């Protein structure tokens, strides 16, 4: 079992006769507005209500949050428990190594630094000032934008 509030896991055995209640989570798309005092402020796009969530709710994916981005927030009884970014986000490559002649192997990658400070590995043909698509679940290069 997993604790929805803090993500901790509990290993517990149940008999086949035991009944376990399944928790239903309500999912809402919310628009990111701004960050203030370590909290992220989101707005419900239907009711225009605003909520604040701790910035660490996104963990290492926090760097990919962009102004105006729509984020999926999961609620249990009006308590926000989880926030999920879109699976793919466009970022600009700020710095990367130049292409090395003869380095055309499909599986060769080089390090790059994105405009949000995150380091990812990119194919050799990607250069500085190029927009790329990054998978926010794996934090890896996906494709050119």
Phi, psi angles (nearest 5°) of residue 94: -95, -40
Q: Are residues 60 and 103 in the same domain?
A: no
Residue 34 shares a structural domain with residue 68? yes
Provide the CATH number for the domain around residue 51.
2.40.50.140
Q: What whole-number percentage of the chain has pLDDT above 70?
A: 88
Tell me: do 131 and 110 sit in the same domain: yes
Residue 47 lies in a domain: yes
Question: What average pLDDT does the chain have?
Answer: 87
Q: Identify the pLDDT of residue 16.
A: 78
Q: Which of 39, 58, 84 is the last residue of a domain?
A: 84
Measured between alpha carbons, how far is 135 from 45 in angstroms, rounded to an integer? 25
- Give me the percent of the chain exceeding a pLDDT of 90: 62
Domain count, the chain: 2
The per-residue pLDDT for range 38-51, each reduced to its tens digit, is 999 999 989 999 99
Q: What is the pLDDT of residues 83-126, one digit of tens each?
A: 999 999 999 999 998 876 665 555 688 999 999 999 999 998 89
* DSSP per-residue string spanning 71-104: EEEEEETTEEEEEE--SEEEEEEEEEPPPPTT--
116 and 75 within one domain: no
State whether 35 and 72 are in the same domain: yes
Backbone torsions φ then ψ of 103, nearest 5 degrees: -90, 75
Question: What pLDDT shows up at residue 29?
Answer: 94
Domain that holds residue 98: 88-144
Please give the residue that has the higher pLDDT: either 5 or 20.
20
Assign residue 87 a region (left: φ > 0; alpha: ψ between -120 and 50; beta: otherwise). Answer: alpha
- Residue of 45, 42, 64, 61 whose CA lies nearest to 53: 42
């Amino acid at each position: 079992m997993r604790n929805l509030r803090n993500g901790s896991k509990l290993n517990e055995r149940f008999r086949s006769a035991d009944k376990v209640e399944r928790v239903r989570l309500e999912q809402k798309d919310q628009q990111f507005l701004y960050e203030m005092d370590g909290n992220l402020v989101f707005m419900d796009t239907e009711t225009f209500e605003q909520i604040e969530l701790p910035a660490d709710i996104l963990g290492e994916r926090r760097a990919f949050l962009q102004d105006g981005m729509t984020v999926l927030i999961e609620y249990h009884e009006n308590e926000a428990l989880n926030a999920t970014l879109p699976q793919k986000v466009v970022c600009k490559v700020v710095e990367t190594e130049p292409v090395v002649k003869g380095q055309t192997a499909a599986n060769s990658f080089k390090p790059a630094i994105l405009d949000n400070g995150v380091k990812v590995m990119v194919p050799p043909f990607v250069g500085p000032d190029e927009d790329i698509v990054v998978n926010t679940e794996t934090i890896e290069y996906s494709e050119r934008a």
